[in-house]
Amino acid sequence: MSRPTARVLTLLELLQSGGLRTVAELADRLGVDGRTVRRYVDQLVDLDLPVEAVRGRYGGYRLASGYRLPPLMLSDDEALAVLLGLVAGRRAGLTTADTASETAAAKIRRVLPAPLARRLDTVLESLAFTTSPGEFATPDADVLLTVADAVRHRRPVSIRYTDRDGRRSERPLHPYGIVAHSGRWYVTGADPGIGEERTFRLDRIADARTLPGSFDEPAGPDPAQRVLSGFATADYRYEVVLRIHGTVDQIRARLPASVASVTEAEFGPDPDPDPGAGAGAGAGAGAGAESASGSASESASRAGSGAGEPGAGAGAGPAAEGWLRVELRVERLDWLPAVLASLDRPFVIERPDELRDLVTALADRLASCARRT
């Protein structure tokens, strides 16, 4: 390929990246003068590519808005980034149709030069992962696009939804945002039929259609925080209330926002224990590592609804140590004692009493193991 032809293709690639490019900028990138840039632009125009000239002090060249270039022009780095993104998205559940990422990758490979395609295949074939790919339910592409458009333009939608118990319903929704969390897609917003904020899994929405009208999103947490707080306040079997002495960051290390809400406690335990005495179930640092992972897995599978998490109070900043009130809803209690032990912080169980018994049993087992020789 001759150097002038290569420069014309580089010019096209620069314009394809979007935005307005000044003559001086293009000349510097191509290593030519301004007159040569204009000649290269004329060659693109002769090829029926819609290059627009913008006059004025800050003028330059750009491609017409909405124009789609027929060839796929990617540098080596860009092609690798796209294919790795498809692989990562498939493993993380950030896809729609089950085969969409595979077919997209195949199409990209077909239009790449053979040497580059072989190099990228070498990278992908030699790539190993430390975790197995997840198996996720994927949302319908039309549903995702319809809801996303409604979020952007603040338009209400009607959705046909199947809940976790298999009950089907059709309801209106004022969607605030779409959130990807732990391999699943969620939409959060207000259900005007019941006057409450709700969170729905997109893969459980069979159909979504835009309704006339518009809505205003109220002030409050962002959509991601609304979804996480919905997990923490979902209607599960047990309502757990604790008081833990520590910082928000220490508690969040074992009980993330998707599992528990944390606020400043109005009062500590009675009587006040020595904060250095350790947690009620023992201070074994490794005692709850596996159960903590189990709690994260449990929270990732939740699809509950609820209002926004109140968050840490004014005096409960991430680095402020003191008594904090921790509330969570769970279906099982068996994983919590080990998590509390792994926190290695003083705590008080307000409710339920069943948790108190489980913590005592764990403490007895730890003490028994410690006495063995």
Closest CA to 310 of 226, 199, 190: 226
pLDDT digits (tens, 9 = 90+) for 33-59: 989 999 999 988 888 888 888 887 777
Each residue's pLDDT expressed in tens, for the chain with a length of 373 residues: 457 787 888 888 888 777 888 988 898 888 899 899 999 999 888 888 888 888 877 778 988 876 665 555 677 787 788 888 888 887 777 777 666 777 777 777 777 777 888 888 888 888 887 777 767 778 888 899 999 999 999 999 999 999 888 899 999 999 999 998 888 889 999 999 888 888 899 999 999 999 999 999 888 888 888 888 777 777 788 899 999 999 999 999 999 888 888 988 776 565 444 444 444 433 333 333 333 333 333 443 343 333 333 343 434 455 678 899 999 888 899 999 999 999 999 999 999 999 999 999 999 999 999 998 8
182 Rama class: left (phi>0) / alpha (psi -120 to 50) / beta: left
Q: List, in order, residues 6 or more apart from 327 with CB less than 8 Å away.
A: 232, 233, 239, 240, 241, 242, 260, 261, 263
Locus of tokens 């092609």: 79
Name beta bridge partners: 200.
187
Phi, psi for 162 (deg, rounded to 5): -120, 120
Residue 40 has what DSSP assignment? H
Phi, psi for 249 (deg, rounded to 5): -65, -40
How far is the C-alpha of 184 from the C-alpha of 94, rounded, in Å? 7
Q: Kindly report each contact of residues 4-9 with a partner whose C-beta sits within 8 Å and lies 24 or more positions away, as own/partner.
A: 4/40, 7/31, 7/32, 7/40, 8/40, 8/43, 8/44, 9/73
Which H helix or E strand runs over 84? helix 76-92
The full length of the chain comes to 373
What dihedral angle (degrees, nearest 10) is formed by the CA atoms of 19, 25, 31, 33?
110
pLDDT digits (tens, 9 = 90+) for 156-165: 999 999 988 8
How far is the C-alpha of 42 from the C-alpha of 60, rounded, in Å? 13
* Beta-carbon count within 10 A of 84 CB: 14
Q: What is the model's pTM?
A: 0.55
Residue type, 2: S
pLDDT digits (tens, 9 = 90+) for 253-286: 999 888 888 988 776 565 444 444 444 433 333 3
What stretches of the chain adopt beta strand conformation (E)?
Answer: 51-54, 60-63, 157-162, 168-181, 184-191, 196-201, 205-210, 238-246, 261-264, 322-330, 347-351
Q: Say whether 188 sits in a helix, a strand or coil.
A: strand
